[in-house]
Amino acid sequence: MTTISTVRPTTDNPTHRPDHRPPRIGRLGLHAFLIGTSVIWLAPLAYALFTALRPYADTEKYGYVSLGGHFGFGNFTTAWTQADLPLYFWNSVIITVPALILTLLLASMVAFVVSRYRFRINIALLMVFTAGNLLPQQAIITPLYKMYQLIPLPMWLSDSGKMDDSYLGLILIHVAFQTGFCAFVLANYMRTIPTELSEAAMVDGASAWRQYWQIIMPLCRPVLAALATLEFTWIYNDFFWATVLMQTGDKRPITAALNNLSGEFFVNNNLISAAALIVAVPTLVVFFLLQKQFVSGLTLGANKG
Amino acid sequence: MTVWEAAPRRRRARRRHLSRGDRVVLTLMAGVPLLLTLSFVWVPALLSIVLSFSSWPGIGGVSSIKWVGLQNYHTIFTIYPQFYPALEHNLIWLAVFFALPAPAGLFLAVQLDKQIRFSRIYQSVLFLPVVLSLALIGFMTELIFSPTQGLLNNLTGHAGQNDMIDWLGNPHLNIWAVLLMACWRQTGYVMIMYLAGLKSVDPSLKEAAALDGAGQWQTFRHVVWPALRPINVVVLVITVIESLRAFDIVYVINQGTNGLELLSVLVTDNIVGEASRIGFGSALATILLLISMAFIVPYLISTFRKDGQE
């Protein structure tokens, strides 16, 4: 609030009374600028769609920047069937869903303990989680990769017999890495819930678990929804962990698998565009349907800075 | 797990209510996630440092580790040819992220914060790339910049044999093509952060400034900008972190070679593929770790100091 001193009110001069909205010309200019920027912003996606809708042969014949030839969804159906996209989507489901649920569950537990009870190590504990999430993944991958090769898992959990090249290995690294962000956001939120609520519950003899599960968690539903949306995109979009920790190409989630496919289809940019757009569909759907949650999830983490 | 001495009486009262069972439950609730984060994030981070002083081909068990002191670092700084290019590219990445998406995101946020029509539509469009993965943006980079099939060369008539501009093959050009696309995504990210920050600026302050005859720039400079301080810190952190994490986009294009080297790629190169050099890779990872910690630690201290004072 130091700003107040710099804008100290002086005499009220009627000629200075401003229009709260910029003049009409300025407004039109602003819209022109924003429309222009939006068009540039959409151009890469629009071009990807344009390419994906045309057969490779037509673009070769008429050129990439042309309207000649046919338009259709042939590339999409070819990519879907020939590139085994359903298989890779299923891999993404196997990894993303458990990782998402576990991350939110564990992060909310940490947040509950840290924000609703006062221990000596509260802040240190939360810092361990938050800082872990800020590290670049590559700073920890080398030993992690070796650890994964050395940790044995029962065969029913991993057909490689090791943590390496297993779904569980990928799920756990996502959980370990993402818990930090969610715990930070949830702890900030839980701190705003009045303590009286817990006290009343305690007088009624509610245990810590009951307070967490039946009182605090239901109140956190909006934040949990926001975080779920955001984390879904992050985990689904992961390329790095899956590329390094999942050697078997057929077990990779779809974002990482696409890289192999581009090797397979090599020069057929039309097909690759179609495949890339199909891969983007889940995140685009989430974005358009849950935009509000998505943005609030991001900014919840930022506002408390 | 003792209660703070300075805690108010009410909290002390709570301590008495904490039954043995509750203590066990609370310890488990914090302990299980802590164990997971420690073993999968912090132990590897520490091991990176430890192993950086070793030579380990990665074949064979832990017994095949040889301790070599600072030799890995010496090699990196003297004869490892990719190191300085990678470091340079990381610095360019950082500089460009500060120079373009950060101010552009702020500028767009300020424009969208004026009460104009269709603001939400503009916001959605500008924010859209943020939900795409950087790997996917790598594929889109190829669509646009590929020498023969790319949009840019076909649009400007440079797709022929003689006058072809090899945007992604030329080691002096490709980093800029990639950065342009990375900025496309980053700008929306920064914009949303600032938009959230601008919402918290008290409108009556802006009105007071306007009544005083302050122009748009003056209002921004003296009213809006100071209020955005906490967001600036967040933007600074995400800019640094995202620059250091950059990986997917260059890896998709050419595995991060030939002009697209980054520290993150060098680390990865030493573990995937035939010749895995765990010690050497760890030394590179340690350098990355130290650079990132130099930014993370001050950020955390400033963020959590307020909590400690509560």
Taking a C-beta distance cutoff of 8 angstroms, is the pair B139, A276 a contact? yes
* Closest chain B residue to A257, measured at CA: B135
- From the list B182, B126, B113, B187, the residue with the least C-alpha distance to A35 is B126
Q: What is the mean pLDDT of chain A?
A: 86
Question: Is 70 exceeded by the pLDDT of residue A293?
Answer: yes
Question: Is 90 exceeded by the pLDDT of residue A232?
Answer: yes
Taking a C-beta distance cutoff of 8 angstroms, is the pair B168, B249 a contact? no
The model's confidence at residue B57, banded by pLDDT at 50, 70 and 90, is confident
Residue B8: its pLDDT value, please?
A: 47
Query: Helix and strand tally (H, E) in chain B?
Result: 17, 2
Collapsing DSSP to helix, strand or coil, A194 comes out as coil
CA distance B172 to chain A (A): 23
Question: Is 60 exceeded by the pLDDT of residue A239?
Answer: yes
**Contact flag A45-B128 (C-beta cutoff 8 Å):** yes
Question: Is 60 exceeded by the pLDDT of residue A40?
Answer: yes
Interface of A with B in 122-181 (CB under 8 A): 123, 125-132, 134-147, 150, 172-173, 175-177, 179-180
Lowest-confidence region among A10-14, A72-76, B236-240: A10-14
B157 burial type by CB count under 10 A (0-12 exposed, 13-18 middle, 19+ buried): exposed
Residue B2: its pLDDT value, please?
A: 34
Question: Is 70 exceeded by the pLDDT of residue B19?
Answer: yes
**Contact flag A286-B139 (C-beta cutoff 8 Å):** no
Size of interface A-B (CB pairs under 8 A): 346
**Interchain CB contact of A302 with B (< 8 Å):** yes
Other CB atoms within 10 Å distance of the CB of residue B101? 26
**Contact flag A141-B288 (C-beta cutoff 8 Å):** no
- From the list A153, A175, A154, A155, the residue with the least C-alpha distance to A164 is A153
Percentage of chain A exceeding pLDDT 70: 90
Residue A23: its pLDDT value, please?
A: 65
| DSSP string of B52-75, one letter each residue | TTEE--SSS-GGG-EE-TTHHHHH
Q: What is the mean pLDDT of chain B?
A: 87
d(CA A225, CA A202) in angstroms, rounded, equals 27
Tens digits of residue pLDDT in B150-209: 888 888 888 777 778 888 989 999 999 999 999 999 999 999 999 988 888 888 888 888
DSSP B38: I
**Interchain CB contact of B298 with A (< 8 Å):** no
Q: Bin A161: left if φ > 0, else alpha if -120 < ψ < 50, else beta.
A: left
Average pLDDT over every residue of A85-103? 96
**Contact flag B208-A299 (C-beta cutoff 8 Å):** no
Residue B9: its pLDDT value, please?
A: 45
Question: Is 70 exceeded by the pLDDT of residue A266?
Answer: no
Question: Is 60 exceeded by the pLDDT of residue A7?
Answer: no
Question: Is 60 exceeded by the pLDDT of residue A304?
Answer: no
Bridge partners of B138, per DSSP, are none
Beta strand spans in B21-159 (E): 54-55, 66-67
* A91-96: Cβ within 8 A, 24+ apart: A91/A167, A91/A251, A91/A252, A91/A253, A91/A254, A91/A257, A92/A236, A92/A253, A92/A254, A92/A255, A94/A167, A95/A167, A95/A170, A95/A171, A95/A174, A95/A235, A95/A242, A95/A253, A96/A232, A96/A235, A96/A236, A96/A253
B134 burial type by CB count under 10 A (0-12 exposed, 13-18 middle, 19+ buried): buried
Q: How far is CA A30 from the centre of its chain?
A: 31
The model's confidence at residue A37, banded by pLDDT at 50, 70 and 90, is very high
d(CA A48, CA A34) in angstroms, rounded, equals 22
Q: How far is CA A196 from CA A108, A115, A199, A219, B310, in A?
A: 20, 14, 5, 14, 18
Q: Which residues contact B103 (CB under 8 A, 6 or more apart)?
A: none
Taking a C-beta distance cutoff of 8 angstroms, is the pair B136, A276 a contact? yes
Tens digits of residue pLDDT in B141-150: 999 998 888 8
Residue A221: its pLDDT value, please?
A: 93
Tens digits of residue pLDDT in A163-181: 999 999 999 999 999 999 9
d(CA A304, CA B300) in angstroms, rounded, equals 12
| DSSP string of B218-258, one letter each residue | HHIIIIIHHHTHHHHHHHHHHHHHHHHH--HHHHHHHTT-T
Q: How many CA atoms lie within 13 A of A96 on its CB side?
A: 24
Q: Which residue has the higher pLDDT, B18 or A17?
A: B18
Give me the sign of the Cα torsion angle B26, B29, B30, B31: positive
Residue A5: its pLDDT value, please?
A: 34
A222 burial type by CB count under 10 A (0-12 exposed, 13-18 middle, 19+ buried): middle
**Contact flag B132-A117 (C-beta cutoff 8 Å):** no
Taking a C-beta distance cutoff of 8 angstroms, is the pair A209, A132 a contact? no
Interface of B with A in 4-23 (CB under 8 A): 4, 7, 10-11, 14, 17-19, 21-22
The model's confidence at residue B307, banded by pLDDT at 50, 70 and 90, is low
Interface of B with A in 22-61 (CB under 8 A): 22, 25-26, 29-30, 32-34, 36-45, 47-48, 51, 56, 58, 61
Taking a C-beta distance cutoff of 8 angstroms, is the pair A85, A275 a contact? yes
First CA to last CA distance, chain A: 17
Question: Is 80 exceeded by the pLDDT of residue B304?
Answer: yes
Q: Which residue has the higher pLDDT, A200 or A241?
A: A241
Tens digits of residue pLDDT in B245-293: 999 999 999 998 889 999 999 999 988 766 688 999 999 999 999 999 9
d(CA B236, CA B98) in angstroms, rounded, equals 8
Lowest-confidence region among A212-221, B12-21, B49-58, B85-94: B12-21
d(CA A54, CA A58) in angstroms, rounded, equals 7
Taking a C-beta distance cutoff of 8 angstroms, is the pair B190, B238 a contact? yes
d(CA B148, CA B159) in angstroms, rounded, equals 5
User: What tokens were used for B156?
Assistant: 């400007």
Question: Is 50 exceeded by the pLDDT of residue B36?
Answer: yes
Residue B290: its pLDDT value, please?
A: 95
pTM of the model: 0.89
Determine the residue among B56, B111, B212, B225 to mutate to test chain A binding: the one whose Cβ has the most chain A Cβ atoms within 10 Å. B212
**Contact flag B37-A176 (C-beta cutoff 8 Å):** yes
Residue A203: its pLDDT value, please?
A: 83
Query: Helix and strand tally (H, E) in chain A?
Result: 16, 0
Collapsing DSSP to helix, strand or coil, B190 comes out as helix
Residue entry with tokens 């999830």: A297
DSSP A162: B
Nearest to A128 among B34, B184, B271 (CB): B34
- CB burial of A107-120 (b: ≥16 within 10 Å; e: otherwise) equals bbbbbbbbbbbbbe
Residue A297: its pLDDT value, please?
A: 81
Question: Is 50 exceeded by the pLDDT of residue A8?
Answer: no
* B114-122: Cβ within 8 A, 24+ apart: B114/A21, B114/A22, B114/A30, B115/A21, B116/A27, B116/A30, B116/A31, B116/A34, B117/A31, B118/A31, B118/A34, B121/A38, B122/A34, B122/A37, B122/A38
User: What tokens were used for A295?
Assistant: 């943005």
Residue B248: its pLDDT value, please?
A: 94
Question: Is 60 exceeded by the pLDDT of residue A259?
Answer: yes
CA distance A61 to chain B (A): 12
Residue B249: its pLDDT value, please?
A: 94
Question: Is 70 exceeded by the pLDDT of residue A11?
Answer: no
d(CA A132, CA B34) in angstroms, rounded, equals 11
